[in-house]
């Protein structure tokens, strides 16, 4: 991730939802009075494909069958 101090690592955890904001402490703009660096905030945007191939659709349907915790995860999307 680019910052004012150069590149920094930002690990995005599995399952992160679109709109999630991560704070990179001390990597933002310095305060004019204290000269301490502020925080850089990074908002995550997840791009969802608008069209799927038959194979992609099949794989997602198989994933849905295996997913017992959130039944109906893709219901209405493919149907």
What are the extents of the domains in the chain?
2-48, 49-79
Give the pLDDT of residue 10. 93
**9 close to 1: Cβ distance less than 8 angstroms:** yes
pLDDT 10s digits, 14-50: 889 999 999 999 999 988 888 899 999 999 998 888 8
How far apart, in whole angstroms, are the C-alpha atoms of residue 17 and residue 72? 18
What is the helix (H) or strand (E) element at residue 11, kind and residue range? none
Q: What is the DSSP string of 31-67?
A: PTTT--B--EEEE--PPPPS---HHHHHHHHHHHHH-
Give the pLDDT of residue 65. 84
Confidence of residue 75 (pLDDT cuts 50, 70, 90): low
**pTM of the model as a whole:** 0.63
């Amino acid at each position: 991730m680019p910052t004012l101090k150069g590149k920094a690592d930002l690990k995005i955890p599995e399952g992160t939802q679109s709109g999630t904001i991560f704070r990179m402490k001390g990597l933002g703009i310095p305060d004019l009075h204290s000269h301490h660096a502020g925080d850089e905030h990074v908002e995550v945007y997840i791009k969802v494909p608008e069209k799927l191939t038959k194979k992609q659709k099949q794989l997602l349907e198989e994933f849905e069958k295996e997913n017992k915790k959130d039944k109906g995860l893709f219901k209405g999307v493919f149907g």
